[in-house]
Amino acid sequence: MTDVMADPRDPRPLIGEPLALDLLNTRWAGTPVNDLLTGVEGYGIWLSSAGLGGRCAADEEGLAAIRQAREAIVLAAQDAREQGELSMSTRSALDAVLAHGRIRRSAGPGGAEDRTEVDGPQWLAPWLAVDDFLTLLGQGAHRVKQCAHEACILHFFDASQNGRRRWCRMAVCGNRAKAARHYVKARG
């Protein structure tokens, strides 16, 4: 992601993925599934960890908009993983968020300058997250992955050279899988 420091109140097990995937990771495994975006306070924590705390207000309107963006990105990540491309309904869901903003390009002292403009402040974080997801797809839909551990629902961007990363975190999910394989082998 960037040099942003995670909010110390952020309880999520995986922080720091690109913005779109960091938004997906506001849900993580548990019974019931943990969800940071159940209220305005959690939304404020996510904004802070994502480096958007100074640019976006944590309010009910923003929470509703970011949930809409998250659902669109969930569908898009699933399509990318399963089909390698986005379905028409998924593209429509992403476009519904993107319709609330645009990039305004102008001539600056050093060349082109891009500024994001949105219909209202509640749409800035959702628009940026969907735009980020499309950027990730442009780098390869096969690199947008969900952790291979059966109990994990976290997402990551596989930036490895060979594109073969399987785990959100090798130290946790990867080691659990290795331990389970070892246990089966030792018993069998």
List pLDDT tens digits, range 142-170. 999 999 988 899 999 999 988 889 889 87
Please give the pLDDT value at position 100. Answer: 98
* Higher pLDDT, residue 119 or 184: 119
pLDDT of residue 188: 63
> Does 182 score more than 50 pLDDT?
no
Across the chain, what does the average pLDDT equal?
91
When pLDDT is cut at 50, 70 and 90, the band that residue 4 belongs to is: confident
Looking at residue 173, its pLDDT comes to 85
Q: How far is CA 178 from the centre of its chain?
A: 26
Q: Where are the domains of the chain?
A: 19-141
Residue 1, pLDDT above cutoff 90 = no
The answer to whether residue 2 scores a pLDDT higher than 80 is: no
Given pLDDT bands bounded at 50, 70 and 90, which one contains residue 186? low
* Confidence at 175, pLDDT banded by 50, 70, 90: low
Mind listing the pLDDT tens digit for each residue in 63-110?
999 999 999 999 999 999 899 899 999 999 999 999 999 999 999 999
CATH class of 19-141: mainly alpha
DSSP letter string, the chain: --SPPPPTT---S---S-HHHHHHTTEESSSSPEEGGGSHHHHHHHHHHTT-TTTS--SHHHHHHHHHHHHHHHHHHHHHHHHSS--HHHHHHHHHHHTTEEEEEEEETTEEEEEEEESSGGGHHHHHHHHHHHHHHHT-GGGEEE-SSTT---EEE--STTS----S-IIIIIHHHHHHHHHHHHH-
25-38 pLDDT per residue, tens: 999 999 999 999 99
% of the chain surpassing 70 pLDDT? 89
Between 39 and 142, the higher pLDDT residue: 39
**Region 121-135: what's the mean pLDDT?**
98
